[in-house]
């Protein structure tokens, strides 16, 4: 258990309060000198606090947007335009919220990859890892529903395509083929109608408002689970004695604070100079249920999963469509099993050269999946190769990595010798 000195207030008011509600002790123990952290955390450890900052930014700007937004299909688009044009600083609130969602995903994805590189998902941090994945899933749901709210063409068609994933359940029970299969029933339950329409917009708005607070709750559990074993570190070995630790405050509050300034500076550059760079121009066209845009793409943070969905083109026992949907969900769900797929006792990739190599291959694979996600299936990439083919290879590799390479590698790989302790490694580095 990562426990530092207990909190003993001298001030009588603090003492009185603490005896009745030990809240200062909680803060002291989570962020203050009461939380001893490994002395060797690098900048990749900044992204947890940055993700927390993003959540706060989304909630504040979101609540402000909600004061001016109208959740009705005839008025939603115009109300968002009004926010950007007429409401005082409305443009700022909206661009912070839109780009804030992207920044949130950047922070969280880096945070996850940090965990994958340094083996933070391994014992005793499995619960921490899984709670993190729950947060990621909730974020995806939140961002998807938020993107529907401005009611542009991408909002509408994104919502149509994504809710139609569930029509794949028609494979299990097709009904008469006239819209009464299991999948059709699930889709109309989600939409509140036969197509994406006003009832859909209303319920998405309600849930988009709710979910960030659910996320906040899971974040609290996530931090609670973190504070039981304490932070992992770049060496991936446990803290042994006092010489391995430093108090969170002031050391990491300062380091996190520096990260916040860098992050906000980048965020500000995006908001002020390229506020639409991560969005799609078609979402500035009001939704039209009769016309699908020539090329629909989800937000960038969904692209890898979208490629996996599109990679299944052949019916085999069940339809290609069902395979695509299953594979897409599986690609995320499998991460819950990562602590058991990778059975190596050594956490950090620093001491696992082969694992490290394949970690970077996986990262490249995800870049490819992202890049292909934005292409149409039959686009020629080079020579005669279509986008869909490259997507299929990358999809194969993704599953191969987790289901074959990792389990095998973690059993056969020769790892490098681990240092004696964090302190000895850090001091040797300095010498």
Partner 1 sequence: MTTIETTNEHDEGATRRDFLNVFAVVGSAVGTAAFVWPLVDQMNPAADTLALASIEVDLSAVEEGQSVKVKWRGKPVFVRHRTAAEIATAKADDGASDLKDPESDADRVTAGKEQWLVMVGVCTHLGCVPLGQQGEYGGWFCPCHGSHYDTSGRIRKGPAPKNLEVPSYSFLSDTRVLIG
Positions in the binding site for partner 1 (CB under 8 A) = 157, 160-165, 167, 170-171, 177-179, 188-197, 199, 203, 289-296, 310, 312-313, 315, 319-322, 324, 376-378, 388
Active site residue 321: no
Which of partner 1, ligand HEM, none does residue 208 bind to, with CB < 5 to 8 Å depending on kind? ligand HEM
Could you say which of ligand HEM, partner 1, none residue 398 binds, taking C-beta under 5 to 8 angstroms by partner kind? none
CB 97 within 8 Å of CB 208: no
Q: State in angstroms the smallest separation of the CB of 153 from ligand HEM.
A: 12
Residue 146, binding choice from partner 1, ligand HEM, none, Cβ under 5 to 8 Å by partner class: ligand HEM
Residue 254 touches which member of partner 1, ligand HEM, none, C-beta under 5-8 Å by kind? none
Say how many C-beta atoms besides its own lie within 10 A of residue 244's C-beta.
Answer: 22
Q: What is the per-residue burial (b if ≥16 Cβ within 10 Å, else e) of 382-416? A: eeeebbbebbbebbebbeebbeebbeebbeeeebe
Strands in 194-288 per DSSP E: 245-247
Among 28, 97, 111, 114, binds ligand HEM (CB under 6 A): 97
Choice from 90, 146, 158, 391 touching ligand HEM (CB under 6 A): 146
Angle between helices 126-148 and 153-163 (to 10 degrees): 130
Nearer to partner 1 by Cβ, of 181 and 339: the residue is 181
Nearer CB in complex with partner 1: 140/320: 320
DSSP 394-427: HHHHHHHIIIIIHHHHHHH--PPPPPS-HHHHHH
CA 310 – CA 321 distance, rounded (Å): 8
Among residues 28, 208, 227, 310, the one annotated as catalytic is: 227
Token pair 């490819």 is found at 368
For residue 286, what is the DSSP state?
Answer: B
227 belongs to the catalytic site = yes
Question: Pick the catalytic residue: 120, 167, 231, 331?
Answer: 231
- Which residue from 218, 249, 202, 39 is spatially nearest to 129, judged by alpha carbons? 218
Q: Residue 255 Cβ, how far from ligand HEM at the closest point, in Å?
A: 25
Smaller CB separation from partner 1, 279 or 324: 324
Identify whether 299 is a catalytic site residue. yes
Three-state SS at 185: helix
CA separation for the pair 342, 411 (Å, rounded): 8
72 is catalytic: no
Q: What is the spatial distance between Cα 47 and Cα 39, in angstroms, rounded to a whole number?
A: 17
Sites of contact with ligand HEM (CB under 6 A): 55, 58-59, 62-63, 65-66, 69, 80, 94, 97-98, 101, 104, 139, 142-143, 146-147, 149-150, 208-209, 212, 215, 279
Residue numbers annotated as active site: 227, 231, 255-256, 299
């Amino acid at each position: 258990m990562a426990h530092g000195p207990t909190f003993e207030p001298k001030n009588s008011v603090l003492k009185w309060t603490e005896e009745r509600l030990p809240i200062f002790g909680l803060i002291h123990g989570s962020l203050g000198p009461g939380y001893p952290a490994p002395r060797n955390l690098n900048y990749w450890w900044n992204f947890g606090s940055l993700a927390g900052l993003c959540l706060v930014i989304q909630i504040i700007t979101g609540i402000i947007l909600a004061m001016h937004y109208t959740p009705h299909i005839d008025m939603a688009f115009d109300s968002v335009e009004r926010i950007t044009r007429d409401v005082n600083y409305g443009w700022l609130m909206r661009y912070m919220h839109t780009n804030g969602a992207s920044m949130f995903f950047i922070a969280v994805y880096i945070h996850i990859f940090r965990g994958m590189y340094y083996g933070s998902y391994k014992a005793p941090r499995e619960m921490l890892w899984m709670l993190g994945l729950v947060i990621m899933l909730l974020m995806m749901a939140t961002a998807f529903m938020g993107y529907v709210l401005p009611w542009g063409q991408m909002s509408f068609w994104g919502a149509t395509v994504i809710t139609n994933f569930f029509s794949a359940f028609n494979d299990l029970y097709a009904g008469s083929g006239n819209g009464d299969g299991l999948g059709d029933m699930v889709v109309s339950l989600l939409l509140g109608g036969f197509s994406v329409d006003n009832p859909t917009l209303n319920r998405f708005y309600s849930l988009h408002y709710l979910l960030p607070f659910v996320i906040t709750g899971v974040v609290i559990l996530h931090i609670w689970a973190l504070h039981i074993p304490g932070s992992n570190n770049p060496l991936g070995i446990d803290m042994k004695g006092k010489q391995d630790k430093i108090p969170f405050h002031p050391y990491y509050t300062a380091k996190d604070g520096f990260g916040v300034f860098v992050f906000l500076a980048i965020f500000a550059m995006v908001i002020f100079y390229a506020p639409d760079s991560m969005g799609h121009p078609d979402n500035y066209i009001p939704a039209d249920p009769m016309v699908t845009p020539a090329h629909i793409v989800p937000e960038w943070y969904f692209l890898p999963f979208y490629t996996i969905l599109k990679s299944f083109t052949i019916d085999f026992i069940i339809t290609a469509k069902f395979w695509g949907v299953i594979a897409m969900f599986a690609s995320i769900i499998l991460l819950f099993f990562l602590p058991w797929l990778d059975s190596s006792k050594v956490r950090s990739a620093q001491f696992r050269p082969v694992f490290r190599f394949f970690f970077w291959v996986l990262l490249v694979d995800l870049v490819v999946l992202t890049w292909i996600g934005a292409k149409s299936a039959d686009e020629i990439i080079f020579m005669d190769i279509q986008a869909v083919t490259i997507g299929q290879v990358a999809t194969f590799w993704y599953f191969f990595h987790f289901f074959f390479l990792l389990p095998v590698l973690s059993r056969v790989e020769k790892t490098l010798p681990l240092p004696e302790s964090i302190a000895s490694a850090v001091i040797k580095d300095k010498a």
